[in-house]
Amino acid sequence: MSKKIYGKRVLGLFILSLMCLSAVFISPVSAENKMYKLKIQSAFPRGDLSMETLKVFADNAAKYSKGQLEIKVFAEPEIMPGDQLFGGTQLGVVDMLHSMGGMSGGIVPIGFVEFNLPLAFRIDEKNTFEEKAQAVRDFYLKNGFMDLLRKEYAKQGLYFLDIHTYGPVPFVLSTKPAVSCADLKGMRIKAEGGNLAFHGAVGMQGAAVSPTETYMALKLGTINAAEWDVSAVTGLKWHEVAPYWIRGMECDHTTGHILVNMDKWNAFPDDIKAALHKAAEDYWHATVTAYKNEIEIVKGLVKEGKVIENMLDDACREQYRKAAYEMWDEMAKQDAASAEAIKMIKAWRGIK
């Protein structure tokens, strides 16, 4: 072998060694600097409080990931209509969705249990808004409920990241006063998911109306009442055309969720997953604070006479309660996961 050829081989081995060293020492630095540009869309329009508060999630994800996560927030219907959001996230059109189980219960039956199972999250044994919220979160995290939800949504290619609160739901506004079930009978109400049946049990008629169309539907008399959360007043201004706040059948806290496309989630390194979890937990606390503040605003409007508080009488509240527990038993028949979820909730709430 000539010295010239030998020299070339030695040089080649030297360069190859440098390349291997680069792979060892440079690749981790490159991974640390990788940017993750993600899109999350809410199922709710601008003006909805939970949607507007999503900025906390996006900002904190960027902070905890040291700038690697850049999440752009969209409202319904800026990328797609809310009723297409579940499928759109499965397909990766958006990376994450912000919604609630009632909108996907036809695909994931436990969603109807997760979102506002009637009276399930009424926490009478706690006093403050924050204490009631913490009791709900503890139930999710300490009783296996979150694990059950993650298992069911994973079957649909979605990772259940975390929950947030909508405060008291159903938050019902009406165009006319109502303090008894006789007053409610025959009224047409815009409602979501299982609440259509809940209100139907006291004689109301459900109507499918999108949030963006609800104000005009109330104004025109197409519907007589509508349910949402407190941002029905503070963000969507429905009280301008439906000033009566009907109370007595609501939970103290009703939860929504953030779901992540599973392929996207599985591709994230552990530190990015941890950043998303931490940001989602911060978002939970942000919604608790936000909804508490909004409730105080509504109480101020009650004092000003711009919102008129109507508490349902004992007989009507009992009729709602009876209907709720019957619905629990019916929902338990949906599938094995729903049955397990109802069993957990009954044990937690002391219901036989």
pLDDT surpasses 60 at 59:
yes
- The rounded distance, in Å, linking the Cα atoms of 39 and 58 is 10
**CATH classification of the domain holding 75:** 3.40.190.170
pLDDT surpasses 80 at 41:
yes
For all residues of the chain together, what is the average pLDDT? Answer: 90
Q: Percent of the chain having pLDDT more than 70?
A: 90
334: amino acid identity, one letter: Q
Predicted confidence at residue 193, as pLDDT, reads 66
pLDDT tens digits, 90-102 = 999 999 999 999 8
Residue 90 belongs to a domain: yes
For residue 171 the two structure tokens come to: 């938050």
pLDDT tens digits, 220-266 = 999 999 998 898 999 889 999 999 999 999 999 999 999 999 999 99
Residue 337 belongs to a domain: yes
**Cα–chain center distance at 249:** 20
Residue 18 belongs to a domain: no
- The rounded distance, in Å, linking the Cα atoms of 232 and 295 is 11
Residue 75 belongs to a domain: yes
Count the domains in the chain: 2
Confidence at 352, pLDDT banded by 50, 70, 90: confident
Domain with 189, as residue range(s), is 171-251+312-349
Closest to 73 measured CA to CA, from 101, 103, 102, 43: 43
Residue 14 belongs to a domain: no
Which residues of 59-214 form beta strands (DSSP E)? 69-74, 96-99, 158-165, 171-174, 188-190, 205-207
* Residue 279 shares a structural domain with residue 293: yes
- DSSP annotation string for 219-241: HHTS-SEEEE-THHHHTT-GGGT
Q: Percent of the chain having pLDDT more than 90?
A: 82
Residue 305 belongs to a domain: no
CA atoms within 13 A on the CB side of 236: 28
Which is it for strands 205-207 and 69-74: parallel, antiparallel or unpaired?
A: unpaired
* Residue 56 shares a structural domain with residue 151: yes
Predicted confidence at residue 208, as pLDDT, reads 87
For residue 80 the two structure tokens come to: 């797609």
Q: What pTM did the predictor assign? A: 0.83
- DSSP annotation string for 247-311: ESS-BS--EEEEEEEHHHHHHS-HHHHHHHHHHHHHHHHHHHHHHHHHHHHHHHHHHHTSSEEEE
* Residue 212 shares a structural domain with residue 91: no
- The rounded distance, in Å, linking the Cα atoms of 320 and 314 is 10
**Three-point CA angle 79, 89, 117, nearest 5°:** 105
pLDDT surpasses 50 at 23:
no
Predicted confidence at residue 210, as pLDDT, reads 87
* Residue 231 shares a structural domain with residue 335: yes
Predicted confidence at residue 18, as pLDDT, reads 35
* Residue 242 shares a structural domain with residue 110: no
The residues facing 306 across adjacent strands are: none
* Residue 180 shares a structural domain with residue 221: yes
**CATH classification of the domain holding 323:** 3.40.190.10
